Structure 1
Amino acid sequence: MTSYTGPTSATSSIAPQDGSTLMPTRWVGPLRISGNAAEGEIHVPLATYESPLWPSVARGARISRLVDAGIRATLVDDRMTRSILIEATDTQAAHAAGRALHDRLDELCALTRTTSRYAELLAVRHEIVGPLLYVRFEFSTGDASGHNMATLAADTLLTHLLAHLPNVSYGSVSANYCTDKKATAINGILGRGKNVTAEILVPRHIVADRLRTTAAKIAHLNVTKNLVGTLLAGGIRSANAHYANMLLAFYLATGQDAANIVEGSQGITYAADRDGDLYFSCTLPNLIVGTVGNGKSLPAIEDALTQLGCRAQRPDGANARRLAALAAATVLCGELSLMAAQTNPGELMHAHTRLERLNGALHAH
């Protein structure tokens, strides 16, 4: 769900080599961003069939340019995970194998480096269910999102462990304790991919003039809708209005694995009234993005990543971290715009109806 906010940049499209159009794409912004992974005023691409999304994000981007620091995006953590399943003869054997994993950590780290020059083993966690040993490996993967890199490393580590641990056998190279493309508590708690928080402090006069609401109304709606409403619905480590909208559009426009919005859209919106000014943040612990790897060499994707400044010569992993910060800032723009719209009766539906009719008329011509 989105709200009308004004004009956006021209429409382009993501297209295959045969020239047929797959997805309408617009660059919106620029949004102003600061923080430990990205700085400056940057337009962002969004590929979507939900046309009101573009002006909604554009309104949030305009708000960011009215604030000195803009959107402050802080990258808190960065790791890709893959879990394996080892089947033991009984719980005692599984427990012994779990303890051996941590005793062999240096050995496993060295072995991981043989699988890729970019992969580093950061941590190992495990859970035991009867004779079943679930092992969650956490890796750094440079500028790649890291799916294949983590799986290759995990497969190598699993083969090594089976050859050196007694009373165990193969279960699976992927055991759902990762967890990949599923909304889970463990990913919300431990994170998977890039953990980023985007935040902004909007002065009260901008809240009133540009968002047509108040900080108190947005903060109240965040509690009643995002927190209580999501709790009643049984949400898993998540309390937001529509992160998935912005993330899917951003992922498609930048060549990401779109299925990762399942865990990527887990996140928490926080809003507070600070003497009339609005503090607003979006925390996303599971942003899985990369600037190299499958799909990134397609001409439209290459162009998008270049325009986003994610093809620059930087230390390994910095381009992907920049992309994650921009994704989080884009989410904040759309989330802020929608939350403001929903404090005003009728605004959301009026915007959708007007914009969708307008786009329908344009396409007819």
Structure 2
Amino acid sequence: MTDTRATATHATATHATAGIPMRWVGPLRISGNVARTETRIPLATYESPLWPSVGRGAKVSMLTPEGIVATLVDERMTRSVLVEATDAQAAHSAAQLVQARIEDLREVVRGCSRYAQLLAVRHEINANLLFLRFEFSTGDASGHNMATLASDALLAHLLATVPGISYGSISGNYCTDKKASAVNGILGRGKNVVTELLVPRDVVHDVLHTTAAKVARLNLRKNLLGTLLAGGVRSANAHYANMLLGFYLATGQDAANIVEGSQGVTMAEDRDGDLYFACTLPNLIVGTVGNGKGLGFVETNLTRLGCREDRAPGDNARRLAVIAAAGVLCGELSLLAAQTNPGELMRAHVQLERDPKTAKVGA
């Protein structure tokens, strides 16, 4: 594989350019309710062992008939606003009125965007403060700005028509944007994708150099129990963030979204020697239009991934989401398999990141 460089250029007074090594890995096989494809994926990262690690997971996917089955479960972008009421009873009355006027609010959203649609409004009351969480569909955009624009219009409308409330903030942190929280995993933000792979016993042995029982046991002890003891927030995985960041940087995404994007749960089961492996990612925030997508390397990468086709609004972003989620599974599977064997992980890092003549474990 040939290394390329993901380069972002921003025209400022100093005109700085940032370059990150990028490599296409795979191919990997994907099926499911969004796409059926075989594709390589781009990962921009300084962590060079990530490329062969994801590549090994991709190889496994190509050795199974259906490959990675990616199921898009839900999608929505959110923005929460904060309003202040005189007391909790007034806040409760305002919340009830907002729900009763949901169709009026949808009309407000239609008036400020061609693509945004208001799906639902949820609320939380704390003392005399009312947090309103607006949920939108946003087409092929990740939807941050679209949701904020719509929320700004909704907030203005509510302040003018709902008695007893006053302005608090256009963002109340109940969204929750780029912060680890429980609410996004429960209510959803971005694309919710579940990826599954059933790996035959011989592939587990020959390619991953382990057994289904070892991977399942490690996943229970490390990802589930270890994360519980560490106080993880709705998350039980080894390193979703590694693959997401590499994919996000290569495809023009807002990389800070890996904070909530990397919250997810890995499952592994020994099924009579075959390995059932699944990754659930409830907060994948990706888009194929919007900020960052006009850069040359991003356009090239999205086109190569098949995410620049003439499809119904939202379909290109859905395709991008399931490809991202499949890449996460590949890297997660490969790392857990490596960690079932003493020394394998460090040997890979020494071989790929350091001069073999001078490398010393623990140096």
Name the TM-score, length of structure 1 as normaliser: 0.95
Query: What corresponds to 1:28 in structure 2?
Result: 25
- In the TM superposition, 1:136-155 aligns within 5 A as 136-155=133-152
Q: Shift in Å at residue 36 of structure 1?
A: 1.2
Please give the per-residue CA displacement for 1:125-163, whole angstroms capped at 9, x wherever unaligned: 001011100000000000000000000000100000000
Query: What corresponds to 2:361 in structure 1?
Result: none
Q: Shift in Å at residue 98 of structure 1?
A: 0.3
Letter in 2 for 1:340: A
Letter in 2 for 1:316: P
Query: Which of 5, 8, 13 is the equivalent residue of 1:13?
Result: 5
Quickly say closer, same or farther: Cα 1:89–1:295, change in 2 above 3 A: same
Query: What corresponds to 2:159 in structure 1?
Result: 162
Structure 2 distance, partners of 1:69, 1:229, is 32
Structure 2 distance, partners of 1:128, 1:19, is 45
In the alignment of these two chains, the number of paired residues is 353
Query: What corresponds to 2:12 in structure 1?
Result: none
Letter in 2 for 1:227: L
Asked whether 1:64 is paired with 2:61, we answer yes
Q: Shift in Å at residue 188 of structure 1?
A: 1.1
Query: Which of 130, 135, 150 is the equivalent residue of 1:133?
Result: 130
Q: Shift in Å at residue 327 of structure 1?
A: 0.4
Contact 1:60-1:337 at 8 Å conserved across structures: yes
Letter in 1 for 2:332: E
Asked whether 1:208 is paired with 2:205, we answer yes
Letter in 2 for 1:235: G
Please give the per-residue CA displacement for 1:325-348, whole angstroms capped at 9, x wherever unaligned: 000000000000000000000000
Structure 2 distance, partners of 1:65, 1:28, is 13
**Residue 224 of structure 2 aligns to a residue in which SS?**
helix
Q: Shift in Å at residue 37 of structure 1?
A: 1.4
Q: Shift in Å at residue 209 of structure 1?
A: 0.6
Structure 1 distance, partners of 2:17, 2:329, is 32
**Residue 354 of structure 2 aligns to a residue in which SS?**
helix
Task: In structure 2, list runs of 5 or more residues that go unmatched.
Answer: 10-14, 359-363
Structure 1 distance, partners of 2:232, 2:322, is 24
Aligned residues with identical type, % of pairs? 69
Q: Shift in Å at residue 166 of structure 1?
A: 1.0
Contact 1:51-1:359 at 8 Å conserved across structures: no
Query: Which of 98, 115, 121 is the equivalent residue of 2:95?
Result: 98
Query: What corresponds to 2:309 in structure 1?
Result: 312
Asked whether 1:199 is paired with 2:196, we answer yes
**Residue 49 of structure 1 aligns to a residue in which SS?**
coil
Name the TM-score, length of structure 2 as normaliser: 0.95
Query: What corresponds to 1:5 in structure 2?
Result: none
Please give the per-residue CA displacement for 1:281-301, whole angstroms capped at 9, x wherever unaligned: 000000000000001011000
Letter in 2 for 1:94: A
Query: Which of 348, 351, 359 is the equivalent residue of 1:351?
Result: 348
Q: Shift in Å at residue 190 of structure 1?
A: 1.3
Query: What corresponds to 1:268 in structure 2?
Result: 265
Structure 2 distance, partners of 1:237, 1:55, is 29
Quickly say closer, same or farther: Cα 1:358–1:296, change in 2 above 3 A: farther
Contact 1:85-1:135 at 8 Å conserved across structures: yes
- In the TM superposition, 1:167-182 aligns within 5 A as 167-182=164-179
Letter in 2 for 1:14: A
Please give the per-residue CA displacement for 1:77-118, whole angstroms capped at 9, x wherever unaligned: 010000000100111110110000110000001111111110
Query: What corresponds to 1:301 in structure 2?
Result: 298
Structure 2 distance, partners of 1:258, 1:351, is 26
Contact 2:350-2:356 at 8 Å conserved across structures: no
Contact 2:26-2:55 at 8 Å conserved across structures: yes
RMSD, matched Cα: 1.4
